[in-house]
Amino acid sequence: MPREIGFLLMVLVLGIVGRNHLVWTASLILLAIRVCRLDFLYPALEDWGVRAGLTLLVLAIMVPFVSGSIRFEGLWNTLRTPPGLLAAVTGAVAAYLGKLGVDGMRTYPEIVVGLVVGSILGASLLRGVPTGPLIAAGAAALLLQVLGFGR
């Protein structure tokens, strides 16, 4: 059995054991692409996959504003509360770290393996949601620069 298939099967099992549908669904899709010999899809997925995923995430976050479940009248009142202000600040920091993450994966390609492994383990074993690889990459790139490993 090729190593890639063994890896995907291992991730699939981790996703099932950890009851994380995002991990096992992604594993099944990649396994199907591999088994069906549709390898030509990998570059396209790698190229636009993150952008498409982030676009869908932002879209989902914006829906309550346009559907009316979050009213603009209460928006400013919410942002003036300590939890609302803290959420706005942490959202801004996370967005900044995400930008650093995109740049960091280009600058430090060797961190991608660790990010993938950490995201899979965190999602599968800790029942997390694998939305943090970009932020984790940004934090890793920032730490690498602070520790003197900057490029």
Q: Cα(31)–Cα(12) distance, rounded to whole angstroms?
A: 9
Task: Give, as one character, the DSSP assignment of residue 52.
Answer: H
Instruction: Give the gyration radius of the chain's Cα atoms.
Output: 18
| Cα separations in angstroms, 78 against 75, 82, 85, 101 | 5, 9, 8, 29
Q: How far apart are the first and last CA of the chain?
A: 38
Sorted by where each begins, the domain ranges of the chain are: 71-151
Contact criterion met (CB below 8 Å) for 142 and 97? yes
What pLDDT shows up at residue 124? 79
pLDDT digits (tens, 9 = 90+) for 53-94: 878 988 998 898 899 888 877 788 888 888 889 988 988 988
More confident residue, 69 or 30: 30
